Amino acid sequence: MEHKISVKRILIDILCIKDQVFKRYKSNNDFKDLLGFLMAKDYYNDDDAPWPTLKQIEKETGLGTYQLRKQLETIYHDLFENPLDFKQVVVNFNIEYNKIYASFECAKLSYIPRIGENIRLPFLKAKMGIDFFYVSDINQTFMETTQYIDINLKGGFFNAYWYYRKHKALETGEIGRGEQFKLYEFEMKERLGLRF
Protein backbone atom coordinates (compact mmCIF):
# COMPACT_ATOMS: atom_id res chain seq x y z
CA MET A 1 0.00 0.00 0.00
CA GLU A 2 1.40 3.36 -1.03
CA HIS A 3 1.54 6.07 1.63
CA LYS A 4 0.54 9.52 0.41
CA ILE A 5 2.24 12.33 2.30
CA SER A 6 -0.01 15.21 3.31
CA VAL A 7 1.41 18.69 2.68
CA LYS A 8 -0.27 19.89 5.88
CA ARG A 9 1.55 17.14 7.83
CA ILE A 10 4.81 18.10 6.10
CA LEU A 11 4.28 21.68 7.31
CA ILE A 12 3.76 20.53 10.92
CA ASP A 13 6.83 18.26 10.77
CA ILE A 14 8.96 21.12 9.41
CA LEU A 15 7.72 23.45 12.17
CA CYS A 16 8.98 20.91 14.72
CA ILE A 17 12.59 21.48 13.58
CA LYS A 18 12.27 24.89 11.92
CA ASP A 19 15.59 26.16 13.33
CA GLN A 20 17.45 23.40 11.51
CA VAL A 21 15.45 24.07 8.32
CA PHE A 22 16.25 27.80 8.59
CA LYS A 23 19.95 27.11 9.07
CA ARG A 24 20.00 24.86 6.01
CA TYR A 25 18.04 27.18 3.67
CA LYS A 26 18.75 30.73 4.94
CA SER A 27 21.18 31.50 2.11
CA ASN A 28 18.75 30.27 -0.58
CA ASN A 29 16.66 33.24 -1.77
CA ASP A 30 14.04 30.95 -3.32
CA PHE A 31 12.92 29.97 0.21
CA LYS A 32 13.26 33.43 1.80
CA ASP A 33 9.53 34.25 1.98
CA LEU A 34 8.50 30.85 3.27
CA LEU A 35 11.27 30.77 5.89
CA GLY A 36 10.40 34.30 7.01
CA PHE A 37 6.82 33.20 7.63
CA LEU A 38 7.79 29.97 9.42
CA MET A 39 10.30 31.73 11.70
CA ALA A 40 7.97 34.62 12.63
CA LYS A 41 6.13 32.64 15.33
CA ASP A 42 6.66 29.46 17.30
CA TYR A 43 3.62 27.65 15.89
CA TYR A 44 4.75 24.28 17.20
CA ASN A 45 5.16 25.19 20.88
CA ASP A 46 3.03 28.31 21.41
CA ASP A 47 -0.55 27.39 22.34
CA ASP A 48 -1.66 30.94 21.51
CA ALA A 49 -0.41 30.70 17.92
CA PRO A 50 -2.80 28.48 15.93
CA TRP A 51 -1.41 26.27 13.19
CA PRO A 52 -1.12 28.26 9.97
CA THR A 53 -3.22 27.15 7.03
CA LEU A 54 -1.70 26.72 3.58
CA LYS A 55 -4.00 29.50 2.33
CA GLN A 56 -2.74 31.80 5.08
CA ILE A 57 0.88 31.10 4.12
CA GLU A 58 0.08 31.69 0.44
CA LYS A 59 -1.58 35.01 1.28
CA GLU A 60 1.18 36.28 3.59
CA THR A 61 4.13 35.13 1.46
CA GLY A 62 2.74 35.76 -2.00
CA LEU A 63 3.60 32.20 -3.00
CA GLY A 64 1.20 30.35 -5.27
CA THR A 65 -0.32 27.02 -4.28
CA TYR A 66 2.04 25.03 -6.48
CA GLN A 67 5.14 26.98 -5.34
CA LEU A 68 4.28 26.56 -1.66
CA ARG A 69 3.65 22.83 -1.97
CA LYS A 70 6.81 22.35 -4.01
CA GLN A 71 8.96 24.26 -1.49
CA LEU A 72 7.52 22.38 1.49
CA GLU A 73 8.03 19.02 -0.25
CA THR A 74 11.59 19.96 -1.28
CA ILE A 75 12.51 20.97 2.27
CA TYR A 76 10.90 17.86 3.74
CA HIS A 77 12.53 15.37 1.39
CA ASP A 78 15.88 17.11 1.86
CA LEU A 79 15.65 16.43 5.62
CA PHE A 80 16.30 12.75 4.92
CA GLU A 81 19.20 13.34 2.53
CA ASN A 82 21.41 15.29 4.94
CA PRO A 83 22.26 14.73 8.61
CA LEU A 84 20.13 16.51 11.19
CA ASP A 85 21.90 18.13 14.12
CA PHE A 86 20.54 17.59 17.63
CA LYS A 87 23.39 19.11 19.67
CA GLN A 88 21.61 19.60 22.97
CA VAL A 89 20.49 16.76 25.21
CA VAL A 90 18.02 17.20 28.06
CA VAL A 91 17.54 14.23 30.40
CA ASN A 92 14.47 14.19 32.65
CA PHE A 93 13.94 11.63 35.39
CA ASN A 94 10.30 10.96 36.35
CA ILE A 95 9.96 8.87 39.50
CA GLU A 96 6.91 7.11 40.96
CA TYR A 97 6.49 5.02 44.07
CA ASN A 98 3.06 4.22 45.56
CA LYS A 99 1.48 7.26 43.85
CA ILE A 100 4.19 9.61 45.16
CA TYR A 101 5.87 11.45 42.30
CA ALA A 102 9.09 13.36 41.80
CA SER A 103 11.07 14.57 38.83
CA PHE A 104 14.34 16.28 38.12
CA GLU A 105 16.43 17.26 35.12
CA CYS A 106 20.07 16.41 34.49
CA ALA A 107 22.25 18.87 32.62
CA LYS A 108 24.67 16.16 31.56
CA LEU A 109 24.58 12.41 31.91
CA SER A 110 27.50 10.33 30.65
CA TYR A 111 25.49 7.09 30.51
CA ILE A 112 21.80 6.60 29.74
CA PRO A 113 20.41 3.76 31.86
CA ARG A 114 18.33 1.09 30.13
CA ILE A 115 15.01 -0.50 31.01
CA GLY A 116 15.46 -2.88 33.91
CA GLU A 117 18.57 -1.30 35.37
CA ASN A 118 18.48 -0.48 39.07
CA ILE A 119 19.34 3.01 40.26
CA ARG A 120 19.97 4.29 43.76
CA LEU A 121 19.10 7.96 44.42
CA PRO A 122 19.83 8.70 48.09
CA PHE A 123 18.78 12.35 47.76
CA LEU A 124 15.15 11.27 47.11
CA LYS A 125 14.67 9.22 50.27
CA ALA A 126 13.01 12.00 52.28
CA LYS A 127 10.52 12.77 49.50
CA MET A 128 9.82 9.25 48.24
CA GLY A 129 10.35 7.11 51.34
CA ILE A 130 12.89 4.92 49.53
CA ASP A 131 16.06 5.48 47.56
CA PHE A 132 16.20 2.46 45.22
CA PHE A 133 14.45 2.47 41.86
CA TYR A 134 14.48 0.76 38.49
CA VAL A 135 14.07 2.06 34.96
CA SER A 136 10.55 1.17 33.82
CA ASP A 137 10.44 3.10 30.54
CA ILE A 138 12.48 5.46 28.37
CA ASN A 139 11.03 7.90 25.84
CA GLN A 140 12.98 10.11 23.48
CA THR A 141 11.77 13.13 21.53
CA PHE A 142 13.72 15.07 18.91
CA MET A 143 12.61 18.68 18.44
CA GLU A 144 14.36 21.77 17.08
CA THR A 145 18.01 21.11 17.96
CA THR A 146 17.40 19.16 21.17
CA GLN A 147 17.10 15.48 22.05
CA TYR A 148 14.81 15.05 25.08
CA ILE A 149 15.27 11.82 27.02
CA ASP A 150 12.59 10.98 29.59
CA ILE A 151 13.64 8.21 31.95
CA ASN A 152 10.78 6.81 34.03
CA LEU A 153 11.68 5.16 37.31
CA LYS A 154 9.56 3.05 39.66
CA GLY A 155 10.32 2.36 43.28
CA GLY A 156 11.84 -1.02 44.12
CA PHE A 157 13.88 -3.50 42.15
CA PHE A 158 13.32 -4.68 38.59
CA ASN A 159 11.51 -8.01 38.18
CA ALA A 160 11.78 -9.40 34.65
CA TYR A 161 8.85 -11.77 35.14
CA TRP A 162 6.55 -8.99 36.41
CA TYR A 163 7.62 -6.75 33.51
CA TYR A 164 6.70 -9.50 31.03
CA ARG A 165 3.44 -10.45 32.79
CA LYS A 166 2.24 -6.86 33.12
CA HIS A 167 2.85 -6.11 29.44
CA LYS A 168 1.20 -9.37 28.43
CA ALA A 169 -1.85 -8.41 30.54
CA LEU A 170 -1.98 -5.00 28.84
CA GLU A 171 -1.84 -6.58 25.39
CA THR A 172 -4.48 -9.23 26.12
CA GLY A 173 -6.83 -6.79 27.87
CA GLU A 174 -6.58 -8.36 31.32
CA ILE A 175 -5.62 -4.87 32.49
CA GLY A 176 -6.94 -1.84 30.64
CA ARG A 177 -4.51 0.78 29.36
CA GLY A 178 -5.98 3.42 31.68
CA GLU A 179 -5.99 1.06 34.63
CA GLN A 180 -2.22 0.73 34.61
CA PHE A 181 -2.05 4.35 35.77
CA LYS A 182 -4.91 4.15 38.27
CA LEU A 183 -4.03 0.90 40.03
CA TYR A 184 -1.17 0.31 42.40
CA GLU A 185 1.18 -2.46 41.28
CA PHE A 186 0.01 -4.76 44.09
CA GLU A 187 -3.59 -4.30 42.85
CA MET A 188 -2.56 -5.31 39.33
CA LYS A 189 -0.72 -8.33 40.71
CA GLU A 190 -3.79 -9.36 42.76
CA ARG A 191 -6.02 -9.05 39.69
CA LEU A 192 -3.65 -11.29 37.73
CA GLY A 193 -3.57 -13.87 40.52
CA LEU A 194 0.04 -13.23 41.40
CA ARG A 195 1.30 -13.47 44.94
CA PHE A 196 1.90 -10.12 46.63
Query: For the chain, which residues make up each domain, given as ranges?
Result: 7-79, 88-191
- How high is the pLDDT of residue 192? 86
- How high is the pLDDT of residue 194? 83
Closest CA to 143 of 93, 85, 103: 85
- How high is the pLDDT of residue 196? 58
Question: CB within 8 A of 125, min separation 6: which ones?
Answer: 131
- How high is the pLDDT of residue 178? 85
Per-position pLDDT tens, the chain of length 196: 677 888 999 999 999 999 999 999 989 999 999 999 999 888 888 888 888 999 999 999 999 999 999 999 999 999 889 899 999 999 999 999 988 999 999 988 889 999 999 999 999 999 999 999 999 999 999 999 999 999 999 999 998 888 898 889 999 998 888 888 888 888 888 888 887 5
The model carries a pTM of 0.79
- How high is the pLDDT of residue 108? 81
- How high is the pLDDT of residue 150? 97
Which is it for strands 118-120 and 132-143: parallel, antiparallel or unpaired? Answer: antiparallel
